[in-house]
Amino acid sequence: MATLAQPGPDTGPMRPNIAKAGLQLPAVKDYAQVDREIMGTLHPTRGWFILLMVSVACLGVGALSWIYQIHEGLGVAGYAPPVMWGVYIVTFVFWIGIGHAGTLISAILYLFRAGFRTTIYRCAEAMTVFAVMTAGLFPIIHLGRPWKFFWLLPYPNWRLLWPNFKSPLVWDVFAILTYLTISVTFLFVGLLPDLATLRDAEKNPFRKRILGALSFGWRNSENEWRHFARAYLFLAAFSTPLVLSVHSIVSFDFAMALVPGWHTTIFAPYFVAGAIFSGMGMVYTIIIPIRKFFKLEHYVTLNVMDAGAKLTLFTSMVVGCAYMVEYFIAWYGGVPAEQDYFMNRVFGQWWWAAWIMLTCNVILPLSLFSQKLRRNPTWLWILSLFINLGMWYERFVIVVPGLSHEFEPWQWTGYVPTFIDMGILIGSFGWFFMWFLLFIKQLPVIAISEVKEIVPPRLKEAASHGGGH
Amino acid sequence: MAGDTSMAQGMLGAFIEIDAACNAIAALRKQNVGRITVFTPAPRHEFEHALQPPRSPVRMYTLIGALSGAVFGWWISIWGSNYWPLVVGGKAISTWIPYTVFAFELMVLIGGLSTVAGLFIHARVPRLTMTVGYDPRFSGSHYGVWVECAPERLRDAETILRQAGAEEVRGDQ
């Protein structure tokens, strides 16, 4: 919720509830319009139904692939020693990264009072939850014996065994479960007032009862809002370091190993910047069609797109800088295995993957220096697809070339994903978009109560209040 | 229009203008008519100014939960390591620096969940039924001022709410 500041002294002008510098909604006139237009997006359409069917079909491909892998064993994935991490780990890191932009938009930009987040944060938050749900599947798929995943959890057991607390993989379990729990909590708490709005507008008694239960009997009283604003602030304050820690810990899965290209201290900030960059790409992939098909252009305005594009450009440049530092340190460090690895990655065996990464993540985003392109939704959407592709390849370039080109030349090998790998990759997109599509037709994609904070309230004495706020 | 106020324990005013609602609150507070509850579709500082509520105690739940989580994170990892010792790379059995990962994650987890618990306890949710004074319009575009007062003050409350410009005033139990 946008209300953060303590009540000021009675004298002097009242401060606005939210920093408006980044957000102006001149076409949104009153609260009734907000309710009508945002709740108007909740009616299913044929296009939505077709997309849902496509997502479910993709999920089906993934499910069948996984069932086949469980039946046949992990050998059907494209692993070839020593490349025992492949598409599953690449896709795990990819989806975890996607989630990070959601938290950036909903929590970090909230703390920084960046007004442009207001109309896109709900989508981004939902994206975070579904992306982490998707990511969490991949370590389990990668286990080969997924039914033993709970061995990673520290629980009192008959054999008196405890996990190795020094293992980054156990750190991962804690980080991701915490991230998922806090993200779901943050999303749900933010949804409470909107669920109450849906409940009160609902005519169908069955749906009204469900929404009444989900909204926990929220009444919009000033007492509720007061505690809500404080709780929301602290959840945002917790989410901010959490998001930085989660991808840092994911990067430790690599950096704690002695593999050339992995054993580097830059990995934590490099992964965090990459995660936010990739998440911004996915936010655009999702939000641009939503604003067009739901006719929400006057909420997700060109100014909002422009501000987000600047953030994308900035994170792209941070990521580009990290790439250059990696190469520089490999050269400057003078370790032959490290130098050889990077030569192989950029000009050798994996040149094609590295150049897809560099083109999509560093070169194409430079177009965002042009204001005209920053305010062009079509270009932003196309660019977002390239960013998604480039960031998947970034993780591929980290995981596979490192393992395929270690210290011993006799170990050098290649890696080719199988149909099972690709089936599960497709299935992950189906899983993610299925949940997202179900979300956008059941719950508001724009936070109704936060938009109402921006819309000037009706005043009896407008002149004496200078238009009100 | 006024409802039947003979049995009422409180008076509800529904406003469409925020300044009118704030004026009503100021007048009700000045005359000390009764306990005021305000309903608003979105949080607004105007009401905070008018009501001057105390600071939310939710922060204490956050602090206690976060500290408990951090302590538990360190404890479970150190205790687990000592109980089932795994010698890794010649390092000490209990190494508190990497265990800070657990302390941090559990600090966030327990701190976050405690914060929500604080919100629920003090905002009195989940609530099984809508209590008196609530109207579905208050999640739409109206502001509500509910005054809970002694029966002999109901007339005063009604007068103040009407004079402030309430669209509707009704008694409720």
**Under an 8 A CB cutoff, do B141 and A231 touch?**
no
B118 shares a domain with B63: yes
Q: Is B167 on the interface with A (CB under 8 A)?
A: no
pLDDT at B3 over 80: no
Indicate whether B166 belongs to any domain.
yes
Single-letter amino acid, residue A193: P
**Under an 8 A CB cutoff, do B112 and A14 touch?**
no
- Provide, as residue numbers in chain B, all residues whose Cβ is less than 8 Å from the Cβ of A450: 42
Q: Is B97 on the interface with A (CB under 8 A)?
A: no
Q: What b/e readout covers A281-298, taking b as 16+ CB neighbours within 10 angstroms?
A: bbbbbbbbebbeebebee
- Provide, as residue numbers in chain B, all residues whose Cβ is less than 8 Å from the Cβ of A169: none
Indicate whether B82 belongs to any domain.
yes
Q: Give chain B's domain count.
A: 2
B30 shares a domain with B44: yes
* Residues A267 and A373: beta-carbon distance below 8 Å: no
Residue A141 backbone zone (phi > 0: left; psi -120 to 50: alpha; other: beta):
alpha
Q: Which of A221, A251, A450, A461 to mutate to test the interface with B (most CBs of B within 10 A)?
A: A221
pLDDT at B130 over 80: no
Indicate whether B83 belongs to any domain.
yes
Indicate whether B154 belongs to any domain.
yes
In order along its 469 residues, chain A shows pLDDT tens digits of 544 444 444 444 444 334 344 577 888 888 999 999 999 899 888 999 999 999 999 999 999 999 999 999 999 999 988 999 999 999 999 999 998 888 888 888 888 888 888 889 999 999 999 999 999 999 999 998 999 888 888 888 887 788 889 889 999 999 999 999 999 999 999 999 999 999 999 999 999 999 999 999 899 999 999 999 999 999 999 999 999 999 999 999 999 998 999 999 999 999 999 999 999 999 999 999 999 999 999 999 998 999 999 999 999 999 999 999 999 999 999 999 999 999 999 999 999 999 999 999 999 999 999 999 999 999 999 999 999 999 999 999 999 999 999 998 998 999 999 999 999 999 999 999 999 999 999 999 999 999 998 888 888 876 454 444 4
- CATH code, domain carrying B28: 3.30.70
Facing B141 at nearest CB: one of A6, A31, A189: A31
pLDDT digits over B56-79, tens only? 999 999 999 999 999 999 999 999
Cα gap A136→A287, rounded to integer Å: 24
Cα gap B100→A89, rounded to integer Å: 25
Q: Which of residues 142-161 of B touch A (CB under 8 A)?
A: none
pLDDT at B46 over 70: yes
**C-alpha distance from B146 to closest chain A C-alpha (Å):** 10
SS3 A80: strand
Q: Which pLDDT score, from 0 to 100, does residue B100 have?
A: 95
What ipTM score was computed for the predicted complex, to two decimals? 0.90
B67 shares a domain with B109: yes
**Under an 8 A CB cutoff, do B120 and A242 touch?**
no
Q: Which of B29, B38, B48 to mutate to test the interface with A (most CBs of A within 10 A)?
A: B48
Question: How is residue B1 written in tokens?
Answer: 């229009």
**Under an 8 A CB cutoff, do B43 and A17 touch?**
yes
**C-alpha distance from B54 to closest chain A C-alpha (Å):** 9
**C-alpha distance from B74 to closest chain A C-alpha (Å):** 10
Indicate whether B160 belongs to any domain.
yes
CA neighbor of A116 nearest in space, from A40, A232, A22, A1: A22
Q: Is B74 on the interface with A (CB under 8 A)?
A: no
Cα–Cα–Cα angle for A125, A115, A239, rounded to 5 degrees:
40
| A202 Cβ neighbours under 8 A, 6+ residues apart | A208, A211
- Provide, as residue numbers in chain B, all residues whose Cβ is less than 8 Å from the Cβ of A453: 42-44
Facing A234 at nearest CB: one of B62, B80, B95: B62
**Under an 8 A CB cutoff, do B58 and A234 touch?**
yes
Q: Which pLDDT score, from 0 to 100, does residue B67 have?
A: 98
Final residue of a structural domain among B82, B97, B123: B123
B101 shares a domain with B78: yes
What DSSP letter does each residue of B68-84 carry, written as one string?
Answer: HHHHHHHHHHHHHHHHS
- Provide, as residue numbers in chain A, all residues whose Cβ is less than 8 Å from the Cβ of B109: 177-178, 181-182
B142 shares a domain with B109: no
Q: Is B9 on the interface with A (CB under 8 A)?
A: no
Indicate whether B128 belongs to any domain.
no
* Residues A128 and A461: beta-carbon distance below 8 Å: no
Indicate whether B64 belongs to any domain.
yes
Q: How many CA atoms lie within 13 A of B61 on its CB side?
A: 21
**Under an 8 A CB cutoff, do B49 and A7 touch?**
yes
Cα gap A355→A446, rounded to integer Å: 37
B67 shares a domain with B50: no
pLDDT digits over A42-75, tens only? 988 899 999 999 999 999 999 999 999 999 999 9
**Residue B145, burial from CB neighbour count under 10 angstroms (0-12, 13-18, 19+):** buried
Question: How is residue A415 written in tokens?
Answer: 């890696």
Cα–Cα–Cα angle for A230, A235, A240, rounded to 5 degrees:
130
- Provide, as residue numbers in chain A, all residues whose Cβ is less than 8 Å from the Cβ of B23: 460
Facing A459 at nearest CB: one of B17, B106, B119: B17
- Provide, as residue numbers in chain B, all residues whose Cβ is less than 8 Å from the Cβ of A219: 39, 127, 130-131, 134, 138
User: What is the chain A residue with the closest CA to B109?
Assistant: A178
User: What is the chain A residue with the closest CA to B50?
Assistant: A10
Q: Which pLDDT score, from 0 to 100, does residue B121 have?
A: 95
Q: Which pLDDT score, from 0 to 100, does residue A108 have?
A: 87
Single-letter amino acid, residue B102: F
**What is the model's pTM?**
0.90
B119 shares a domain with B71: yes
- Provide, as residue numbers in chain A, all residues whose Cβ is less than 8 Å from the Cβ of B39: 219-222
CA A305, distance to chain mean position in Å, is: 17
B102 shares a domain with B84: yes
Domains of chain A plus CATH, in order, are 31-151+163-458 (1.20.1630.10)
* Residues B16 and A458: beta-carbon distance below 8 Å: yes
Domain span at residue B166 reads 10-55+133-172
Q: Is B35 on the interface with A (CB under 8 A)?
A: no
**Under an 8 A CB cutoff, do A31 and B131 touch?**
no
Question: How is residue B53 written in tokens?
Answer: 């509520």
Q: What is the bridge-based pairing of β-strands B168-172 and B10-15?
A: antiparallel
- Provide, as residue numbers in chain B, all residues whose Cβ is less than 8 Å from the Cβ of A171: 98, 101-102, 105
pLDDT at B95 over 90: no
Q: Which pLDDT score, from 0 to 100, does residue A23 have?
A: 73
**Under an 8 A CB cutoff, do A235 and B126 touch?**
no
B92 shares a domain with B81: yes
B75 shares a domain with B45: no
Final residue of a structural domain among B123, B146, B162: B123
B115 shares a domain with B79: yes
Q: Is B93 on the interface with A (CB under 8 A)?
A: no
SS3 A458: coil
